[in-house]
Copies of this chain bind each other. A is one copy, B any other.
Amino acid sequence: MIVRDRPSALRLFFIMRGSILPRIWMHLAVSTLLAVVVTWTDGQFGHHKLHFTTTPFTLMGLPLAIFLGFRNNAAYDRYWEGRKQWGELILRSRSLARQCLSLVAPDRHDDAGSRLDEPHLRIISRAIAYAHALRHRLRGTDGAPDADIAPWIAQGEWERVRTQSNVPYALMLEMGADLGRCLRTGRLDACLAPSIDASLSAMTAVAASCERIRGTPIPFSYTLLLHRTAYLYCFLLPFGLVDTIGYLTPLVSAIVAYTFFGLDTLGDELEEPFRASDNGLPLEALCRTIEIDLRTALGDRDLPPPLLPENYRLS
């Protein structure tokens, strides 16, 4: 995620960091070059001149507006829902910690070493691992999440869990088992268990919702239809403009192509909000937030600082 203040009017046109330009410059260059050629030849190829006029572009503008407007909204909705789900994960983790501390009977030992011996403290600690595991799953970095997950759970548990196909769910089952232990040892009243259980279910829901966003793209036929129409529009546009505005054709074509390709590419990034792209969600920073809050709840003193943007980017 790019984090920077809105620049002044003048600098607005020279900012590259955070702009979509670097990713579309080639398409933009091709379409502008074509516009230059069309302007040069006045739209004539051999003896034929293509009299497009601007009428077709007004007509094609109608479906294109529907496509672009819809795609844009759908992609942003996915982005925003992804963020909402992680916000839900943050708040459910915080509530889970509060519940474990206040509802389970208090023979809590403050010394950090024994944290993994008490089931209800284990649940809090494991919730940190859960967030990291979900991040790795969503970003496809299943390979080496040891450094992030292993410190928060017992050694044996990590061995057991890491080979599972769905690591977050395996951790969730362990949390359920610890909840059962609290119940059966009488440290948690049966009337209070549903509250903690509901928090666990909500965290399960976050994972499934994120997987939904990740696994179900906007229908491919739709994307294809949009791309084709947008490309045709941009590549035919110079023929339509050259008779009216002459040598200004490349400028106007470039502006229009910039907006269309830019909107399209931005949609591509927002559509997959969990990827580690410039416009992706800052999952690492969000995991850090959970880590800080839950370690605060556990009474830790030496907390890591919140993640800050590097070169305007929060990862």
Task: Spell out A's residues near B (CB within 8 Å).
Answer: 1-4, 6, 9, 12-13, 15, 18-20, 27, 30, 50-70, 72-74, 76, 79, 83-84, 87-88, 90-91, 94-95, 97-99, 101-103, 105-106, 164-166, 169-170, 172-173, 175-177, 179-180, 183-184, 189-195, 197-201, 204-205, 207-209, 211-212, 216-217, 219-225, 227-229, 231-232, 237, 241, 244-246, 248, 252, 255-256, 258-260, 262-263, 266, 268-270, 278-279, 281, 292-293, 296-297, 303, 306
Contact = CB atoms under 8 A, between A and B. Distances in A.
A166 B197 contact: no
6 shortest A-B CB distances, which residue pairs? A91-B208, A102-B176, A102-B180, A63-B259, A2-B220, A98-B176
Contacts of A101: 173, 176-177, 180
Give the interface centre of A63, A99, A270 by most chain B CB atoms within 10 Å: A63
A268 B205 CA distance: 30
A122 B270 CA distance: 42
Contacts of A166: 292-293, 296
Nearest to A58: B58
The secondary structure that dominates the A interface is helix
A187 to B, nearest CB: 12
Contacts of A88: 205, 208
Q: Copies of this chain, how many? A: 5
B102 A165 contact: no
Contacts of A176: 98-99, 101-102
13 contacts: A51-B248, A56-B255, A66-B68, A67-B263, A91-B201, A91-B208, A98-B200, A101-B176, A103-B183, A105-B184, A165-B303, A170-B296, A189-B191
B64 A65 contact: no
A284 to B, nearest CB: 14
A140 B68 CA distance: 35
A59 B252 contact: yes
